[in-house]
Structure 1
Amino acid sequence: MDSNFVVAVGAVVPIFCLMFVGVMVKKYQLLNAEELVHINRMVFKVFFSIMMFYNIYNTDLATTFQPNLIIFAAVALFVVYIIAFLGIVYWEKNDKRRGAMIQAVFRSNFVLLGIPLVGNIFGDDKIAVTTMMIAIIVPLYNILGVFTLETFRGHKFSFLPIFIQVLKNPMIVGAIVGAFFLIAGIPVPKAVLKPLGQITAATSPLALIILGASFRFGSTKTHRPQLIFCILARLIIVPAIVLTAAVFCGFRSVELVTLVSIFCTPCAVASFAMAQQMDSDAELAGNCVVFTSALSCITIFGWILLLKSLNLF
C-alpha cells in the first residue's frame, strides 16, 4: 500500500507544484494579463508543435500505434458526449449554459496534463503512446466543441471549414510533419534534434506554470447547481464509467494511464476561450476550468492510487 501511495503522489504532486508556481507568479504580479496571453500563445503555437513533432519523430510506430486504444478512446468520447448532450438538454433550459456544460463534461485538459502524468509514472521514454493519442483526441475535441457551441447559439454548423481549421492546429501540424519525417525516413541532424528535444522538455512545465497563473475565480451564485454537476461529471462520473469499461476491455499499464489522462483530468482551458468567443456562458465555463483543476489534484490522485492498488499498472 505504501508503494502504491508513493506512485500516486509522484504522479500528481509534480503537476500541481508547477501550477502552484504559476499561482505565485500571478500573486506577485511577475507577469501581467497581456504578457500571459502572449506567452500562452507562444507555448501553444511553437512549443506544443515542436513537442508533437519531436515525440512522434522519435517514436517506434510498431509499439506506439495502438489501434485498440484509439478505437476505445474515440468511442468512449463519443458515448460520453452523446449522453452529456441529451442529459443536459433535458435538464438545463438555458442555451448558453447548455453549450458550456456539455463542453465541461466531455472535454478534458488532456493536452496539458496527459504527458506529464504518464511521464511522472513511467518515465519520459514511455510518453509516445500518449503523444500519439493527442493527435487523435484533439481534433475530436475541437470538432465536437464547435458543433456544440454553434448549435446553441443558433448558427449553422459547417464541417469542412472546421476540419480545415483543425488541420491548421499547431499540434496537429507538428504531429503530421513528425509522422511524415518518420515514415519517409528523413533524417534530422543531431545538431537540430537536440534543441528540439530541449524545447520539448520545457513545454509541459511551462504550460502548467502558465495554467496556474491564468486561474481567475468568478461568481458562482447564478450557476452553482450547474457548476456542481459539471465538477462531479468531469472528475467522478465519467472517469468511473470509462475506466471500468477500459479495465474490462483489458487495458493496462501505459494505455490505461493514458485513458486516465484523457477522461480523469479537469476541464480544458480551451473550453473557456471558446465559450467567450462563441456566445456561450463564459463565466460558468471559466469556473468549471478553475474548480475542476483545483479539485483534480485530489481526484486524479485517488484514481491513480485505486488503479495501482488493483495492480492494473
Structure 2
Amino acid sequence: MDFSGFQIAFQAVAPVFVLIGIGLVIRARHLLTDEELKRVNGMVFQIFFFIMLFYSTYTTNIRQTFQPRLIAFALCSLAVIYIVPFLLVPRFEPSDKRRGAMIQAIYRSNFVLLGIPLIANLFGEENIAVTTMMVAVVVPIYNVLGVMTLEIFRGGKVAPLTLMRNVFKNPMIQGAIVGALFLIIGIPVPEIVMKPLRQVTAATSPIALIILGASFHLGSTADHMKQLVTCVVSRLIIIPGVVLSSAALLGFRGVEFATLIGIFASPCAVAGFAMAQQMDSDAELAGNCVVFTTALSCLTLFGWIVLFHTLGVL
C-alpha cells in the first residue's frame, strides 16, 4: 500500500492542530482571560493580518499569481453554496436568528486562518502567492454576504454604503490594497523594513491558530443539535465533496487545487461567530459551528487530502 498520501496529509494537517492544541492548553491553565484573548485576537486581526497581506501582495509576481480561471471557478462555486442554503434553510428553519447563523456557517469558511497555513505546509511558504491572491478575492465577498445575510434575517435594511465601508475596514483587504499600490507604483521598501515584516508574516498564522485554540468555548447544543449537524455536515462534507470533485474534473491541480481545499473544505469562520454576536443572530449556534467544524476538520481535511492525492490531483 502506498502511504505517501497519508504522510503528505498528516504533514499538512498536524502542525495546524498542534498549534490549536497549544491554545487549548493555554485555556485549560487559565493563562489568559477571555478579555485578554479578545485583545490579543484584535491585535492579530488589526495589525498582523494587515502586515501579512501587505507583504504577500507586495512580494507577489502578478503575472504568475493572477489566475482568472481559478478566480472564476471560486466565485461561481461561492455563489452556488450561498444561494442554495439561502433558499433552502428558511424552508425548514422557522427562526430568523438561526436562519442567518446557519447560512453564514454553511457558506463561510476559515480560509485565512486554517486554509493558508494548510497550503503552506503542503507546498511551502514560498509557494502560497496564488493562495494569498485569492484572499483578496474571497474575503470581501464573505464580508458582504455575511453582513447582508444577518441584516436580512434580523429584519433590517441592507445599505450598500455600509456594506462597502465594512469591506474596506477589513485589515486584510486594506493590507492587500496597500501592498498592491506599492507593487504597481513601484515604491521600494528597504530590506531593513522588509525583514521585520517578513518575520511578522511568518508569525501571524501560528499566533492566530494558538489564539483560536485558547478561545474555544463549547456552548449548550441541546436546543439546536439538528441545526448544528446540518451546518457541520454541509460545511465539511457536502460542500467540499461537490466543489472539489468539480474542480478535479475541470483540471485544477497542485497549488490551485490546494487553494480550493483551503477555501471550500476549511471549517466555519471565527468571524462568523463575532458577526452573529454583533448583529442579533444566534451566537451560541454560530459559536458551536466554529468549535465543532474546527475540531472535526482535522479528520475531514486529512481525508480530502489523502483522497485527492491518491487520485493524482495533489
- After TM superposition, is the score higher than 0.5? yes
2:304 aligns to what? 303
**How many residue pairs align between the two structures?**
313
For residues 241-271 of structure 1, give each alpha carbon's deviation from its aligned partner in whole angstroms, at most 9, with x where no partner exists.
Answer: 1001111221110000000000000000011
1:17 aligns to what? 18
2:246 aligns to what? 245
Percent of paired sites with the same residue: 60
* Distance in structure 2 (CA, Å) of the matches to 1:170 and 1:228: 32
Give the structure-2-normalised TM-score. Answer: 0.99
State the SS of the aligned residue for 2:99.
helix
Whether the 8 Å CA contact 2:148–2:163 is kept in 1: the answer is no
* Distance in structure 1 (CA, Å) of the matches to 2:99 and 2:87: 10
1:172 aligns to what? 173
1:106 aligns to what? 107
- Cα deviation for residue 111 of structure 1 reads 1.1
State the SS of the aligned residue for 1:218.
coil
* Distance in structure 2 (CA, Å) of the matches to 1:283 and 1:188: 45
2:280 aligns to what? 279
* Distance in structure 1 (CA, Å) of the matches to 2:115 and 2:236: 15
For residues 140-169 of structure 1, give each alpha carbon's deviation from its aligned partner in whole angstroms, at most 9, with x where no partner exists.
Answer: 000001111001100000112211221121
- Cα deviation for residue 225 of structure 1 reads 0.5
1:88 aligns to what? 89
1:59 aligns to what? 60
2:80 aligns to what? 79
For structure 2, the residue ranges without an aligned partner over 5 or more in a row are none
1:133 aligns to what? 134
2:50 aligns to what? 49
Q: Which moved more, 1:42-51 or 1:87-96?
A: 87-96
4+ residue runs over 4 A deviation: none
* Distance in structure 2 (CA, Å) of the matches to 1:284 and 1:5: 33
State the SS of the aligned residue for 1:298.
helix
- The reply to whether residue 186 of structure 1 matches residue 183 of structure 2 is no
* Distance in structure 2 (CA, Å) of the matches to 1:268 and 1:292: 9
State the AA in 1 paired with 2:32.
L
1:148-159 paired onto structure 2 within 5 Å? 148-159=149-160
- Cα deviation for residue 208 of structure 1 reads 0.1
- Cα deviation for residue 187 of structure 1 reads 0.9
For residues 79-126 of structure 1, give each alpha carbon's deviation from its aligned partner in whole angstroms, at most 9, with x where no partner exists.
Answer: 100001111011111111100000010000001012101100000011
Whether the 8 Å CA contact 2:240–2:261 is kept in 1: the answer is yes
Q: Which moved more, 1:182-191 or 1:12-21?
A: 182-191
- The reply to whether residue 68 of structure 1 matches residue 69 of structure 2 is yes
- The reply to whether residue 124 of structure 1 matches residue 128 of structure 2 is no
* Distance in structure 1 (CA, Å) of the matches to 2:49 and 2:13: 21
* Distance in structure 2 (CA, Å) of the matches to 1:169 and 1:233: 27
1:143 aligns to what? 144
1:222-237 paired onto structure 2 within 5 Å? 222-237=223-238
State the AA in 2 paired with 1:33.
D
Give the structure-1-normalised TM-score. Answer: 0.99
State the AA in 2 paired with 1:85.
F
1:204-223 paired onto structure 2 within 5 Å? 204-223=205-224
